[in-house]
């Protein structure tokens, strides 16, 4: 199954980036680059959906 979610990525005050997904409350990711933040968020979403 393939699903699409909205990712909001912003630069973190301490450096790097953080990402959240509004469709899944509480899921977030972080990374030194935008790509790392996206991958971290993707992994967090997969873990939450796998747990359901």
pTM: 0.86
Adjacent-strand bridge partners of 28: 20
Q: Does the residue 2 lie in any domain? A: no
Three-class SS state of 34: helix
Q: Does the residue 33 lie in any domain? A: yes
Q: Does the residue 1 lie in any domain? A: no
What is the count of structural domains for the chain? Answer: 1
SS (H, E, C) 1-52: CCCCCCEEEEECCCCCEEEEECCCCCCEEEECCHHHHHHHHHHHHHHHHHHC
Count of C-beta atoms within a 10 Å radius of residue 15: 7
- Its domain, for residue 40, covers 7-51
Q: Does the residue 22 lie in any domain? A: yes
Task: Please write the tens of the pLDDT for every residue from 9-49.
Answer: 999 999 999 999 999 999 999 999 999 999 999 999 999 98
Q: Does the residue 32 lie in any domain? A: yes
DSSP 4: -
């Amino acid at each position: 199954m393939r699903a699409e979610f909205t990712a909001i990525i912003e630069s973190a005050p301490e450096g790097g980036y953080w990402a959240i997904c509004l469709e899944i409350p509480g899921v977030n990711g972080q990374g030194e680059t935008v790509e790392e933040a996206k991958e971290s968020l993707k992994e967090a979403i997969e873990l939450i959906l796998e747990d359901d």
